[in-house]
Structure 1
Amino acid sequence: MISQEYKEVVAMSTSEEKATFYKHTYGHVAGGVLVFMILETIFLQVPFIVNTLLSFTQGYLWLVLIGGFMGISWVAQKMAMDEVSRPKQYLGYFLYIVGQALLFVPMLYIVINYTGTIVLKQAAAVTGALFIALTAIAFMSKVDFSFMKKILTIGFILALGTIVAGMIFGFSLGLWFSIAMCLLAAGSILYETQQIQYQYSTNQYVPAALGLFSSLMLLFWYVLRIFMSRD
C-alpha cells in the first residue's frame, strides 16, 4: 500500500522533492526499457509466440493486434494511476511493457532475421540519443510546450486514421509517414517531459514513467522502420 496521501503536483513541491521525483521517474523508465529487452529476448525464443504474432500481421488481423494492444494499454494506464495501491501501479506498468514487447515481436523478428542486429542497434542508439536530447531541451528550454497538446491530439487521430485506411485499402504508409510519426513521438516526449510536473504528484512516478516509456517506444518503433526502409 502507498503509505502517504497524494501531495500537490510536482511543480508545487520543494526542490528536493522534485529531484527525488525525477530520479524515480527516469529510473523507472530505464527499468522499463530493461524489462522490455528481457521480455523481447524471451518472446523471440518461443516459436509459438513468434508464429502467432507474425500471423497477425496479415491483412485485417493487424488491426486486431493493434486493438488488443490499445485495450491492454487502457487497462495498464488505469492500474498505474491507482492512488491507493503501489503494487497495482507496478502491475499496470509491467502489463504495459508486456503489451509493448508483444507488439514489437513481429518487427524485431523480421529485422533480426533479415538484417542481423546492426540495424536494431543503430535504431536503438539513435532513439536513445534523441530521447536524451529531447529531455534536455524540455528541461533547459524556456519554451512552454503546453501548446502542443492539441497538435499532438489531432496528429495522433490522423495517424490512427491513416493506419486504419492503409489496412483497409491496402496502401503502404511509406518512409514519409514514419518520419512524420517520429516527429509526433518527439513532440510527445517534449510535451510529456515538461508537463509531468503539472500532471502528477511527487509519489506518482510510476504513471509518469509509463507515459514517458510509451512515447519512447513509439519513437523507437518508427526510427526502426526508417532504418528498415534503407535496406
Structure 2
Amino acid sequence: MAWETATGGMIAAEAPVSERVAFIRKTYLHLGGAVLAFIALEAALLNSPLARPIVQTMLGGRMSWLLVLGAFMLVGFIAERWAQSATSPAMQYLGLGLYVVAEAIIMLPLLYMAAYVSGDPTIIPKAGVLTGLVFVGLTGTVFLTRRDFSWLRPALTIAGFAALGLIVVSMLFGFTLGTLFAAVMVVVAAGYILYYTSNVLHHYPVGSHVSAALTLFAAVALLFWYILRILSDRR
C-alpha cells in the first residue's frame, strides 16, 4: 500500500484539523498541477511533427504495443516508488513528473486518433469534461460521507489483473476489446477513485501528498482513457 512506504508522519485521520486540511489541500493542488502538466505535454506532442511517426512506431504491430505497455508498467512502478520516498522530496517530485510523462506518451495514440481521425474535434474536450464530472462526484461522495473504501482493494486488485490479462490476450490473438469492456473499466476506474480518495482521508500520512496525488492522477487518467475509448467507439 502506498501509505505504508510514503513519507512518514501522522495518519491524516488522526492529525490535528489544521494539518489534515493542509495535507488534503496540498494533495489536490499537486493533482491539479499533474493534470495541467499532462494537458500541456499532450498538446505539445499532438501538435509536434513527431506525433505521427511516434504513433506509427507505437502501433507498428501487436508486439510493439505490448512492449509499450510493458515499458509503461515498469516506468509506473519506478515512478510510484520514487514518489513514496521517505527521505527525498526531490525524488518524490521526480516520480510524479516521470509518471505524468509516461501517461502522456502512452495516451498519445488514442488522443491522436481522436484528434485527427475521428472527425469530431470536440471528442477530447467532451471526454475531459465527463471525466471531471465523474471525478468531482466521486470525490464529493467520499468527502461528504467520510466512508472508508479501503475494502475495495481486493476487488480492484482482481479486476486490475483480469483486465491486464484480457488486454494482453487481445494483443497476442488480434481481437478488439469493445465498448462493453471499456464501460466495465470505467466502473473499475471509478472504484479506484473512491479507494484512493478515502485513503487520502483515512490512511495516508500527512507528509505524503505527492504520493497521494500520483495515485489519484493514475486513477483519473484511467477513467479518462476509457471514457474517451467509449466516445471514440461511438464514432
TM bracket, shorter-chain basis: over 0.9
Q: Once the 2 structures are TM-superposed, how far is the Cα of residue 8 of structure 1 from its aligned partner?
A: 1.4
Normalising by structure 2, report the TM-score. Answer: 0.92
Q: Once the 2 structures are TM-superposed, how far is the Cα of residue 143 of structure 1 from its aligned partner?
A: 4.0
Whether the 8 Å CA contact 2:147–2:198 is kept in 1: the answer is: no
Aligned to 1:189: 193
Aligned to 1:154: 158
Aligned to 2:39: 37
Aligned to 1:100: 103
Q: Once the 2 structures are TM-superposed, how far is the Cα of residue 36 of structure 1 from its aligned partner?
A: 0.3
Aligned counterpart in structure 1 of residue 23 of structure 2, from 3, 21, 24: 21
The runs of 5 or more residues in structure 1 that have no matched partner are none
Q: Once the 2 structures are TM-superposed, how far is the Cα of residue 55 of structure 1 from its aligned partner?
A: 2.3
Bigger shift: 64-73 or 190-199?
Answer: 190-199
Aligned counterpart in structure 2 of residue 139 of structure 1, from 112, 136, 143: 143
Map Cα deviations across residues 124-170 of structure 1 (whole Å, 9 max, x no partner): 00000000000001111254322211100000000000000101111
Equivalent position amino acid for 2:19 in 1: E
Aligned to 1:110: 113
Are the structure 2 counterparts of residues 102 and 23 from structure 1 closer, same or farther at C-alpha, using a change threshold of 3 Å?
Answer: same
Equivalent position amino acid for 1:173 in 2: L
Aligned to 1:218: 222
Output the CA distance in 1 between the equivalents of 2:196 and 2:18: 21
Output the CA distance in 1 between the equivalents of 2:140 and 2:50: 41
Aligned to 1:48: 50
Output the CA distance in 2 between the equivalents of 1:188 and 1:127: 13
Output the CA distance in 2 between the equivalents of 1:24 and 1:10: 12
Map Cα deviations across residues 72-127 of structure 1 (whole Å, 9 max, x no partner): 10111111111111111111100000000001111111111122430111110000
The runs of 5 or more residues in structure 2 that have no matched partner are 1-6
User: How many residues are aligned here?
Assistant: 227
1:167 aligns with 2:188: no
Whether the 8 Å CA contact 2:148–2:199 is kept in 1: the answer is: no
Runs of 4+ in 1 over 4 A off after TM superposition: none
Aligned to 1:85: 88
Output the CA distance in 2 between the equivalents of 1:149 and 1:127: 22
Give the SS at the match of 1:60: helix
Whether the 8 Å CA contact 1:36–1:101 is kept in 2: the answer is: yes
Map Cα deviations across residues 15-67 of structure 1 (whole Å, 9 max, x no partner): 11111111110011111010001111111233335412332223121110011
